[in-house]
Amino acid sequence: MKIKARHKHDAMKIICVVGARPNFIKIAPIIEEINNSSRNSGRRRNITCKIVHTGQHYDYKMSGAIFKELEIPKPDYNLGIGSGSHGLQTGKIMIEFEKVCLKEDPDLVLVVGDVNSTLAASLVAAKMNIKVGHIEAGLRSFDRNMPEEINRVLTDQIADYLFVTEPSAIKNLLNEGISRKKIFYVGNVMIDTLLKHKSSIKDQNSQILKKFGLRPREYALLTLHRPSNVDDEEKIKKLFSVFERISQIIPIIFPAHPRTIDQIRRSGLKIKTNNLIITEPLGYLDNLNLIANSKFVMTDSGGIQEETTVLGIPCLTLRTNTERPVTIDVGTNILVGRNSGKITREVKNILAGRAKKNKIPKYWDGKTARRIIAIINKHY
Ligand code: UD1
């Protein structure tokens, strides 16, 4: 499978597409590597890269702040899509992204993760006969109620290069009839970003700990934003009654996603906040610093299951499935769902010193972006 040059000039033209917060964290090392490899005039060919931000996430705290912190160059295009239903969001991205592809005529479109922007951009590129590379391919929760699962399955079917983070992804892709030749086991770009910033992430005297009056290992961190947990009034209320109980044993800090804040307001939920600190979305480094210094994390995020595994922090995942089984097999992750008995039992285990020990998954070594760009170069 070759990427054929569509242009007379030598440089390969790539468009990197991002839309939502976790995408920015994953694309940062790729952009850095592309820029490094273009400067490196030795064996490698030059690559030019344009960044397209769909605008799926638009709040400064969810978007601009992360670009600034991770020194990602300003996007060349911002499609300004914003919030909306799945159909509306996906459709609007497709309409606008097609115009960009017509103008830029890229050799390759790179997409990351499993958000609506990932699928919308892949569909446009594939139909225009532009090669598609999917970073973080093959992950499966086998739960088609999750919009992300639909995005994953469909993106992988039309992608030409599938870059995977863990062995389960290879198996899933082969089971779905995808050719072995398209699959590349490269590791995890999100962990590239984490390892690059490891020293500030691990700092035990950070400003963010001071700001909230937290001491290392004496608090838990919570994140919650999945529609299956927050969109239903009864479920969100039940979960918060568990968190309130846990917060009486150990303080909890909760950087809340805008979607969750909206749902809390809508449901009229009154949270007793003495020991449960609710704050706006935090920056990337502040959030990871709070994770790295916590006693344990409760989350329904995908990326945080991986970050806690690398940092050796116990992670209780508030879901009944995970598309990232390596975090359970070798990492610190335990699935607890919304089961209050199970959540409380695991919290007690951790506080009693019986937390799971971690190993680092293969290739989660900070060099994944380098592997991806080397593969792309080789195929051009
Ligand atoms: C999206 C992804 C999810 C990912 C998450 C990371 C899809 C289907 N879901 O979910 O996989 O884990 O991003 O955060 O793509 N909102 C704001 N400001 C923003 C962004 C969102 O207020 O900058 C609010 C709006 O009320 C919006 C809601 O959050 O309607 C949901 O945003 P949306 O992008 O549709 O999905 P997420 O829940 O963020």
pLDDT of residue 318: 98
Q: What is the DSSP string of 46-111?
A: PEEEEEEE--SS-STTTTHHHHHHTTPPPPSEE----S--HHHHHHHHHHHHHHHHHHH--SEEEE
Atom of ligand 1 nearest to the CA of 227: 38
Kindly state whether residues 20 and 147 are assigned to the same domain.
Answer: yes
For ligand 1, is residue 287 a contact (CB within 6 Å)? Answer: no
Name the pLDDT band for 269 (thresholds 50, 70, 90): confident
132 located within any domain? yes
Residue with the nearest Cα to atom 22 of ligand 1?
258
Residue 375: HSE in the Cβ half-sphere, 13 Å Cα cutoff: 25
CB distance 159 to 133 below 8 Å: yes
Based on the fold, state whether residues 45 and 95 are members of the same structural domain: yes
pLDDT attached to residue 155: 99
> Closest ligand 1 atom, CA of 89?
35
pLDDT, residue 7, reads: 65
Domain membership flag for residue 4: no
The count of structural domains within the chain is 2
Residue 2 lies in a domain: no
The amino acid that residue 181 corresponds to is K
User: Domain holding 346: CATH number?
Assistant: 3.40.50.2000
Residues 214 and 241 in one domain: yes
**Mean pLDDT across 170-193:** 98
Query: In this structure, which residue's CA is closest to atom 2 in ligand 1?
Result: 115
pLDDT tens digit sequence for 81-128: 999 999 999 999 999 999 999 999 999 999 999 999 999 999 999 999
Q: Looking at the structure, do residues 163 and 202 belong to the same domain, yes or no? A: no
**b or e along 257-280 (b: 16 or more beta carbons within 10 Å of the residue's beta carbon)?**
bbebeebbeebeeeeeeebbbeee
Inside any domain, residue 192: no
pTM: 0.96
pLDDT digits (tens, 9 = 90+) for 127-142: 999 999 999 999 999 9
User: 45 falls in which pLDDT band (50, 70, 90)?
Assistant: low
Listed as own residue / partner, the contacts of 179-185 with beta carbons closer than 8 Å and 24 or more positions apart are 181/1, 182/1, 183/137, 183/138, 184/371, 184/372, 184/375, 185/362, 185/363
**Which of 61, 83, 86, 141 best tests ligand 1's pocket when mutated (most atoms within 8 Å of CB)?**
83
Q: Which amino acid is at 17?
A: V
Give the residue among 288, 159, 300, 204 at the shortest CA–CA distance from 243: 300
- What separation in angstroms does the CA of 231 have from each of 258, 260, 263? 12, 8, 6
Domain membership flag for residue 357: no
pLDDT at 43: 54
Write phi, then psi, for 264 (nearest 5 degrees).
-65, -45
6 assigned to some structural domain: no
Q: Which domain holds residue 265?
A: 198-351
Does residue 9 carry a catalytic annotation? Answer: no
Residues 141, 250 within the same domain: no
Range name among 166-170, 250-254, 258-262, 305-309 with the lowest pLDDT average: 258-262
Name every residue whose Cβ is closer than 8 Å to that of residue 153 and which is 6 or more positions away in sequence.
140, 176
pLDDT tens for each residue of 298-328? 999 999 999 999 999 999 999 999 999 999 9
**Å from CA of 337 to ligand 1 middle:** 21
List phi, psi (to 5°) of 13: -105, 115
Specify the ligand 1 atom closest to the Cα of 147.
Answer: 8
